[in-house]
Amino acid sequence: LRSGLEQLSSEVEQAATSAALRPLAEQLDELAESLDGLSELIAGFEQTDAQARAELLAATSGLYADVNRLRSRLKQRSEGLVETEQGLEFGAQLTVLEQSLQHQLARCDTPEAADEGLARAISQIETLEGRFATQPRFAEELVQRRETVLEAFAARREQLQAERNRRTSALRVAVERILDGVPRRVGRLTDGEAIHAFFAADTLVERARHQIDQLRELGENVAADELASRLQALKEAGLRDARDRAELGTSGDSLALGAQRFSIERQALEPVLLPGPEGLQLQLAGTDYRRQLQWPEAERFREVWTQLLVSENADVYRAEYLAALLFEQWQGQPPADIGTLDAEALLPAVAAAAQARPAEDYQRGVHDHDAAQILAALLSQARHAGLLSAPVPARVLAQAWFASQLHSKRGALARQAAGLAWLAQHEGARADLPASWLTGLSTLAEELALADGALLAEAAARHLIEVHGQSDARFPQSPAAADLQAAVLAALPRELAEALQDPALALGERFALAFGWCQALGTNASVEVRQEAACALLFE
């Protein structure tokens, strides 16, 4: 027995799998039974002396201890091998489960399919829970996987439901749009046979029926029945209307009442705004009804009442309008993919911009061609003009506002403007303008009696940034303004010129005084040149 136990113990330690331990456990049970038989045999000895029987019992007890120890070791070894084997199997099962979940999620194309996929996934997880319930760490992992599966399928179902809602909404809108046009088309038919043929063969009506069937397939039975009933009601209404017209003797655009025939106006009653000498009038199309509107706000725009296009009027050609839009959009610089300023190189970009504005009625090959020619000239002039390409009122306002600041604040403003210029150059887009700049520029524009509005303040702020983005941050001056400034300084007594620096006078008063001098001596100069020269007299 002892040699058998030693052999069995060696085999237990060498076993590599839990399956290999099962026959060893059976052998151990057989040895234990043999030991029980030996113990009973020893207990039945009567003619041996007590000393010999005690020694035999002690040896038997030692064998029992060895059997129990080996049984404990076998159990420990079996549990360790089972845990290792189950860990490997559990990992493989999780991999298969993950792939199965991904496959089921990919196959879900309806909310119902998502519910079915979730049920299958939960069933797989419950199977694994029953198989690996003895391992607490496996059970915890499966609980987490269950939560992940629930969240994944819930999100997928929500997505599919949202897609279905969008699809059903689009189908309903499409069917309703078709049904809205059916009465008008049926109204032109003269008899019941034509109406039956229309509802049987018209492509739009057939499309509406097909879309109603699609709504039923998507589970929107109530909406589908409602639209189908409406389609049937339109057919019945058309047949009744045809019978009524036949009974009344209606034919074409006339109605017969006895021997008399009356004209019928079929034009829809739509309100139309019409400009007149006394103001805007509201007229119902197809009738003589007119009503004079009391609309003071509209009087401000009387000059555009008869303008048919936003892009063209008596003074502006629509190609000029398009060229100006692109010049402003491109900030005076063509896109990087346009190598030259040639009109032919600009034409594709101009044509694309014109095509994107159908409401402005650009004719391909005419207005885009002219706009490309104009834009090429604008870009060329802007490149040569440099900072002078900015509008004169904006340049005057920018210089006046910068010069009117305290000396200690000018440095901070210059650094801020230079930083914004650097940002615009490296980001490839215009930087956001500080709100404090726009507020101060708007206030000063009103004080100097320049053109009002936020556009001038924004243009002045952009010019200020461009000036301080140069290595030599100096405000530009046109030759005409420089000549007018020199003429005023030459003709004006010195003591009068010093009045422009008198702090007792407000800045607006000093600018008005300088502008008046420029107006007196520059009779042939434009208003912009006078404004620029007046600004130079004040701040240079």
186-224 tens-digit pLDDT: 877 878 888 899 999 899 999 999 999 999 988 889 999
Stronger pLDDT, 265 or 156, i.e. the higher one: 156
Mean local confidence (pLDDT), 88-100: 75
Ramachandran sector of residue 58 (left: φ over 0; alpha: ψ -120 to 50; beta: rest): alpha
Mean local confidence (pLDDT), 476-493: 89
On the question of pLDDT at 341 being above 80, the answer is no
- When the pLDDT of each residue in the chain is averaged and rounded to a whole number, the result is 81
Stronger pLDDT, 125 or 350, i.e. the higher one: 350
Q: What is the pLDDT of residue 533?
A: 92
Long-range pairs of 476-483 with CB within 8 A, sequence gap ≥ 24:
476/386, 476/387, 476/388, 476/395, 477/532, 477/536, 478/388, 478/392, 478/529, 478/532, 480/525, 480/529, 481/529, 481/532, 481/533, 481/536, 482/533, 482/536
Q: What is the pLDDT of residue 507?
A: 86
Supply 471's token pair.
Answer: 């290595």
* 144-179 pLDDT per residue, tens: 888 888 888 888 888 888 888 888 999 999 999 999
Tell me how far apart the alpha carbons of residues 421 and 419 are, in angstroms, rounded to a whole number: 5
Helix (H) / strand (E) element for 256: namely strand 254-257
Most confident of the following: 38-47, 339-348, 457-466: 457-466
309 beta partners = 312
Supply 332's token pair.
Answer: 């005076």
> What backbone phi and psi angles, to 5 degrees, belong to 51?
-65, -45
* 101-151 pLDDT per residue, tens: 888 888 888 888 888 888 888 888 888 777 776 667 777 778 888 888 888
Mean local confidence (pLDDT), 366-372: 93
Question: How far is Cα of residue 8 from the mean position of the Cα atoms in its chain?
Answer: 74
* 69-85 pLDDT per residue, tens: 767 776 766 666 666 66
This prediction has a pTM of 0.47
Stronger pLDDT, 317 or 333, i.e. the higher one: 317
On the question of pLDDT at 36 being above 80, the answer is no
On the question of pLDDT at 20 being above 70, the answer is no
Lowest mean pLDDT of 91-95, 289-293, 413-417, name the range: 91-95
Handedness of CA 7, 9, 15, 20 (dihedral sign): positive
Confidence of residue 374 (pLDDT cuts 50, 70, 90): very high
Q: What is the pLDDT of residue 107?
A: 82
